[in-house]
Amino acid sequence: MGFSRDLRPHSRRGLRSYMHEHSNGQSGMNRAALFRLPSLSLRFIPVWRRNFLVWRKLAIPSILGNLADPAFYMLGMGYGLGGLLPEVGGVPYLTFLAAGTVCYSTMNSATFEVLYSGFSRMHVQKTWEAILNAPLTLDDVLLGELVWAVSKSLLSGVAILAIVWALGLAGLGQTLWLLPLIILIGFCFAGMGLVMNALSPNYDFFMYYFTLVITPMVLLCGVFYPVDQLPSWLQTVSAWLPLTHAISLARPLVQGGEPQHILAHVSALLAYGSIGYYIALVLTRRRLLK
């Protein structure tokens, strides 16, 4: 016993596995399995339902958190700041703010869900691991998370919309098109956020995303003021951000008009969401199925 016995096989093994590794091309999943397009199956439903049942237990603080923050922003700034302004974009400031707040509240809700809550389930509680031991695949789990985040953000968007209705800022009929739009916004930001979830080593990592992606969007995409107030280079940046596309569709709907360039805006939101979701799926496969 002792060193000689321990060391010799070790170094030999090292060389052999090195050669094996390189003759084989790669370790982990093969490329086809890694980059396969998302499989869409109704098996996502029990995953969605699990999240829904947990949410139901904590619904009141959750709804408050989702609703109160954007609602106070909208009401406080709408009345407070709005009183100082004649009109913004041709309507009272509160009405102007309403469309932005619906979009921004939806974005925030979807983002928080896939970042913090999703990361808890994936990394901290290992809930996904437990599910993957059952006859479900990672594609099912991620689809469940995506649809869940969309559902939760729909609730947040509708909550703001309910305030808009209650205050008589917009009629019910003209704003019904906002419902599919809210779903689309939720999809867009859930898909994007899942990429961060897949990459994150810990909760602190999400600060980068909020500081570098979400906050600029809140400030540059026309939530609080029209984008044309910005210098042209910032307007160019803004045009690339998905929240701008969301608000471009939402604002005319709230104000009773018809949005311009519908196809372009819808395509932009769909593209951000689906490309994000696909990248997230590949990265999550690499992370968990290695």
Partner 1 sequence: MPLLNIKGLRKSYGALEVVAGIDIAVNAGECFGLLGPNGAGKTTTLRLALGLTAPDSGTISLFDLPVPGKAREARIRVGVVPQMDNLDPDFTVRENLMAYGRYFGLKDAETARRIPALLEFAGLEHRADARIDALSGGMKRRLTLARALVNDPDLIFLDEPTTGLDPQARHMIWQRLRELINQGKTLVLTTHFMEEAERLCDRLCIMDRGKIIATGSPRALIEQHIEPEVLEVVGEEVDAWAEQYGRGLCQRLEKTGEMLFCYTRDSRALLEHLKSQSSLRYLHRPASLEDVFLKLTGKELRD
Which residues contact partner 1 (rule: CB under 8 A)? 1, 5-6, 9-10, 13-14, 16-18, 20-21, 24, 27-30, 33, 43, 46-47, 49-50, 53-54, 57-58, 125-127, 129-137, 289-290
Q: Where are the alpha helices (DSSP H) in 200-241?
A: 206-209, 215-220, 232-240
Nearer to partner 1, 44 or 187 (CB): 44
Interior/surface letters 73-103, b for 16+ CB within 10 angstroms, e for the rest: bbbebbeeebeeeeebbebbbbbbbbbbbbb
Nearer to partner 1, 25 or 86 (CB): 25
Smallest separation (angstroms) from partner 1 to the CB of 6: 6
Smallest separation (angstroms) from partner 1 to the CB of 1: 6
User: Residue 72: which of 107, 113, 110, 101 has the closest Cα?
Assistant: 101
CA–CA gap between residue 190 and residue 186 (Å, rounded): 6
- HSE of 38 in the Cβ direction (CA atoms, 13 Å)? 22
Smallest separation (angstroms) from partner 1 to the CB of 159: 23
Neighbours of 163 (CB within 10 A): 17
Smallest separation (angstroms) from partner 1 to the CB of 21: 5
Nearer to partner 1, 122 or 196 (CB): 122
Smallest separation (angstroms) from partner 1 to the CB of 61: 13
| Residue where the block lists tokens 């090292």 | 14
CA–CA gap between residue 117 and residue 65 (Å, rounded): 14
Nearer to partner 1, 57 or 168 (CB): 57
SS3 category, 133: coil
Nearer to partner 1, 137 or 274 (CB): 137
Nearer to partner 1, 39 or 236 (CB): 39
Smallest separation (angstroms) from partner 1 to the CB of 39: 10
